[in-house]
Structure 1
């Protein structure tokens, strides 16, 4: 039997995948930096491990065939952390890494954090590991959360569009891949929603279904940096926040993929469907 390890089990994406694998009756190792925060699930064995090349990480990964690697928290040293953990996985004998990457990731992506994903993909290949890259576009629920909390989505996105994807759809794909990893070896799967949407269109749909006014405010790049100074952060964080929108303006986040349908046998969830589900839950 294939031995599966899952990282990020204390977070939203990794936690969802861990639950789906448990519900399928498959045993899995759950790796967490803080094991006390990990969910207690049937069939799961819990190991303490961080994204580093350490004896602890190697021990946690020893005997694992397929590793589901959720990208590390946004941090200036994230690429180094990824490389160290991948090196630990290779030393431990891991054969196949399923990695959560980013849509259209490249060394010169407008979205600054996508560059780490491109470098991580390259490193996994360089290590001679079998791979499956799930290239997630921006999460649809992220934009909806902005609409719900602030009644506004603002940024320098211009009239660009984004094929935003629901986080739970990505998690369903990851779980399906882990259930039959051989089928998806050495493949790149683009995780997009079923439609390209401008931020104005997202705001308009949120207004209609959620029953509250939501607007899209187009900013200049300089205005975007200035408005985000309301939240104390480091420069790399401001750069990543603003480049979320400039990447959309540049056309790098548009385009539709059938990969979710190919894996799950159904179309990805649309914004309207997601909003209707939220509205029903709040009734």
Structure 2
């Protein structure tokens, strides 16, 4: 699933790199690490970090980095015919340098005013951070405590702009292909981890293609839709980003 950290003390955002598919009916979670499809995106004056449904995250990442995308935000959640939320995301936008939160929607664990944590490993990361104050170490620590957190720790330093974001970046489809081709199956009852069989790979590929299953970096909390106010605030944050960048370019 995931662990995301807003490390205000060290002016840094970090995340794990695991993506997963929860096959509740089959009793397995399928996952893959280190796909280069990051949960963090950047542009010249801001950084965005996301958790939740992979397809929604992909749309938000594309919108965030596209200078010609306009201010109309992508969908922030999906509903079924009965109006139940079936997919959602958590999004935080940080201005750089300075680590001011320009927009945030979603539930975070908080450690004083130093750091904020979300995802299935968020509570474990918070406990670790409260002792050592390191957002790298706390994601690694969460991966030990939470079987749904894993892979390389990705980061962006808002002060120095130093980062290890993937270059070249993978597309959503790249990530899904890697999930099927080299991912693992975790039994939800026993937590036993095994490579997927060719039959399981083919079934998973078909279910991902027809929408029966979807990949995500789950937040670890119940799904909830965004209010109109939250969407408005996200679009206003994008407007401020564009205005800052235009001013920096003398436009």
TM-score range, shorter chain: under 0.3
* TM-score, scaled relative to structure 1: 0.26
Is the strand fraction higher in 1 or 2? 2
* TM-score, scaled relative to structure 2: 0.28
Compare CA radii of gyration and give the structure with the larger one.
Answer: 1
Q: Which has the higher contact order (CA 8 A, sep 6+)?
A: 2
